[in-house]
Structure 1
Amino acid sequence: MLAELHAEIARQGGYDDGAGAEPVVSLELFFDGNEDPASIGCNLPDHPGPARFYEVLSAIRDRPEVDSVWVGVSEVTGPDDWPFSDHVYVVTTVSPFEVASWAVPLSPGEPGDDWWNGVPPLQEIEIPPPARLVTLWWD
């Protein structure tokens, strides 16, 4: 799936160093075949592993209060390396702190309610009313 992940990032316009819009991808595209703990949550002292990230984030996406969950791509180093993410977007009708409570096993930072770098991603994320955007991040 790594080749498909890189192809989707390129299809969206690639990664430009974080100064502008970023690519976003589905949970499946980011996590299928991902065994690289440095790809997300890399600074966690007790890293749960990419499979646990996928498990928890998929369970969040499956909640009735959640419309979608997207992985923001923060860095792409090379075609043989898994891209890096330090945040995900959750489209939901609940508060940021409720979303963060669902993600406790992943130890996210304080949740946000805006795009990671203040700019919408390259791939449009639909936020149907009355939903809101919640950003979960890892330092």
Structure 2
Amino acid sequence: MLTELHAEIARQGGYDGAGPEPVVSLELFFDGNDDLASIGSNLSDHPGPAHFYGVLSAIRDRPDVHSVWVGVSEVMGPDEWPFSDHVYVVTTASPAEVGSWAASLGADMPGDDWWNDAPPLREIEVPPQTRLVTLWWD
């Protein structure tokens, strides 16, 4: 799945660390991912990518959630997993509620704006009556 992940990032225009970043589905980012440094790398007691995927999938499956996307923060070589330090949740819930759902992931205080203050390369639908919540790890 790493090859497909890099292909999708390239399809969106790649990422050089500045400006809008690529975003990918949970499945594309986590399928085959066992790299602890790929997300939440600052956590001293890292739960592992499989736990991240399980929690984020459960969040996505909630009736008050429209979608969940992984923002790609850094792209390594073709044999290395890209790095993410944030995830977007489109929901009717408040940032505090989303943070409580993701408590076991050790995210920092959830925000309600795009990472780097710019929408990502791929359009993320935010329907009326929903909001964008950003979970991030610093």
Would you call these one fold, judging by a TM-score over 0.5? yes
Secondary structure at the counterpart of residue 117 of structure 1? helix
Counterpart in 2 of 1:11? 11
> 2: CA distance between counterparts of 1:4 and 1:26?
12
Counterpart in 2 of 1:59? 58
Instruction: Tell me by how many angstroms 1:77 deviates.
Output: 1.3
Task: Count how many residue pairs are aligned between Structure 1 and Structure 2.
Answer: 138
1:64-108 Cα shifts (integer Å, max 9, x gaps): 000000000000011000000000000000100000000001010
Instruction: Tell me by how many angstroms 1:16 deviates.
Output: 1.9
Alignment of 1:59-138 (within 5 A): 59-138=58-137
> Any gaps of 5 or more consecutive residues in structure 1?
none
Secondary structure at the counterpart of residue 88 of structure 1? strand
TM-score by length of 2: 0.99
> Any gaps of 5 or more consecutive residues in structure 2?
none
> 2: CA distance between counterparts of 1:37 and 1:138?
13
2:48 counterpart of 1:49: yes
1:39-80 Cα shifts (integer Å, max 9, x gaps): 000110100000000000000000000000000000001100
> 2: CA distance between counterparts of 1:42 and 1:49?
10
> 2: CA distance between counterparts of 1:43 and 1:13?
27
TM-score by length of 1: 0.98
1:91-138 Cα shifts (integer Å, max 9, x gaps): 000100000000001010000000010000000000001000000001
Provide the alpha-carbon RMSD of the alignment: 0.4
> 2: CA distance between counterparts of 1:3 and 1:117?
26
> 2: CA distance between counterparts of 1:3 and 1:53?
21
Moved segments of 4+, more than 3 Å: none
Match of 2:108, as an amino acid?
G
> 2: CA distance between counterparts of 1:77 and 1:25?
16
Secondary structure at the counterpart of residue 113 of structure 1? coil
Secondary structure at the counterpart of residue 79 of structure 2? coil
